């Protein structure tokens, strides 16, 4: 089967950049799906803003401006921008949505005509995404997929007996990092002045509160930082539709404390894989428990250990194809 992907983002990337910090959730999904489709012996082509055409692991990477004469594909998939589907012919078109797209935003970005013309199914990232996307933008069908994490996290060995002591935040700083810093300073640090919080780099001097910038270089650094952390602190954000950071922590058996904002209630099973707090004080209380109570922390860590490897990209890819061609 001939399958193509589109991504109009300005970042020039290929699958060789998968461990780079410039790769976010949307690009990560495209890379991993394309690799799995190629393993299934499908002919896979990607059109994005890569600098030059090349074949990597049986996937053909091409600059989006190289398309000519509307080639035919059995399945055409786009990251967000439905207008890119105008460039090819296909009886099966899919748009992976990575935003809460209101009807007003859909019209403002001039995607309505392409949407009606291409009639794509919309891939949603979860229940929160589904509830908050305008129903008119799903009239040609939609389905939800639970994405996997990179193989680097699945292959990593977890020492279930180790007892790290510090907390970590690994999402981008626009995902309520300021809120977390305030909670840590006011409610957590006063009772845990020997514990440290490592965060996505910011320009504030917070050392007196035991808040330190972590290296933000690539996924090898991320893997190391997570492996040395006791708890992931992530309040959530209204724009967070899947939160790959939470899934990466889960795969490495790191309990999570969240306020459940956005999709985070879907990433954590309360008291099983972490805690979902109702307010700042409860968030701080749950954090204190996981930082200091080895019994509770070990119980949740063991629950997470039993879930390791249950969601792999090979399974995700097969489910995606099944849903894509489902009538």
- Residue 291 has a pLDDT of 97
Residue 171 has pLDDT above 90, yes or no: yes
- C-alpha gyration radius of the chain: 21
- Residue 135 has a pLDDT of 81
CA angle 238, 145, 35 (to 5 degrees): 115
What domains appear along the chain, each with residue ranges and CATH number?
2-148+311-324 (3.40.50.2000), 151-305 (3.40.50.2000)
Q: For residue 303, what are the CA distances in angstroms to 25, 44, 208, 227?
A: 25, 38, 34, 17
- Residue 272 has a pLDDT of 98
For the stretch 204-222, pLDDT in tens is: 999 999 999 998 778 899 9
The pTM for the full model equals: 0.92
- The rounded distance, in Å, linking the Cα atoms of 58 and 268 is 36
For the stretch 112-139, pLDDT in tens is: 899 999 999 999 999 999 999 888 788 9
Structure tokens at 10: 């300005």
pLDDT, averaged across the chain: 94
What helix, strand, coil percent values describe the chain, rounded to 5? 40, 20, 40
Q: H or E stretch including 48?
A: strand 43-48
Of 24-28, 285-289, 304-308, least confident by mean pLDDT is 24-28
DSSP 215: P
Is residue 246 within 8 Å of residue 232, measured between CB atoms? yes
Q: What is the largest CA-CA distance in the chain?
A: 65
Terminal Cα-to-Cα distance of the chain (whole angstroms): 18
Collapsed DSSP state (helix, strand, coil) of residue 286: helix
The pair phi, psi for residue 272, each rounded to 5°, is: -110, -50
């Amino acid at each position: 089967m001939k399958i193509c992907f589109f991504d109009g983002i300005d970042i020039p990337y290929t699958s060789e950049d998968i461990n780079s910090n410039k790769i976010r959730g949307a690009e990560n999904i495209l890379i991993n799906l394309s690799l799995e489709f190629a393993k299934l012996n499908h002919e896979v082509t990607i059109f994005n803003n890569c600098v030059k055409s090349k074949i990597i692991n049986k996937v053909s990477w091409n600059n989006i401006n190289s398309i000519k004469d509307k080639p035919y594909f059995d399945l055409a998939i786009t990251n967000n921008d439905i207008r890119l589907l105008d460039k090819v012919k296909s009886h099966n078109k899919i748009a992976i949505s990575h935003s809460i797209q209101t009807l007003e935003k859909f019209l403002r970005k001039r995607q309505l005509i392409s949407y009606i013309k291409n009639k794509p199914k919309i891939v949603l990232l979860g229940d929160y995404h589904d509830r908050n996307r305008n129903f008119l933008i799903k009239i040609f069908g939609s389905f939800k997929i639970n994405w996997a994490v990179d193989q680097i996290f699945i292959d990593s060995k977890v020492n279930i007996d180790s007892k790290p002591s510090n907390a970590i935040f690994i999402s981008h700083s626009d995902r309520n990092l300021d809120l977390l810093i305030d909670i840590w300073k006011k409610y957590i640090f006063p009772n845990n002045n020997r514990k440290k919080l490592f965060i996505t780099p910011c320009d504030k001097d917070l050392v007196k509160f035991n808040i330190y910038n972590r290296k933000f270089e690539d996924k090898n650094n991320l893997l190391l930082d997570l492996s040395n952390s006791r708890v992931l602190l992530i309040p959530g954000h209204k724009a967070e539709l899947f939160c790959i950071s939470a899934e990466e922590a889960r795969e490495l058996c790191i309990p999570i404390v969240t306020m459940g904002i956005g999709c985070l209630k879907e990433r954590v099973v309360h008291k099983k894989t972490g805690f979902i707090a109702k307010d700042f004080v409860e968030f701080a209380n749950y954090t204190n428990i996981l930082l200091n109570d080895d019994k509770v922390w070990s119980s949740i860590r063991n629950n997470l250990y039993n879930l390791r490897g249950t969601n792999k990209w090979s399974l995700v890819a097969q489910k995606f194809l099944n849903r894509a061609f489902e009538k």
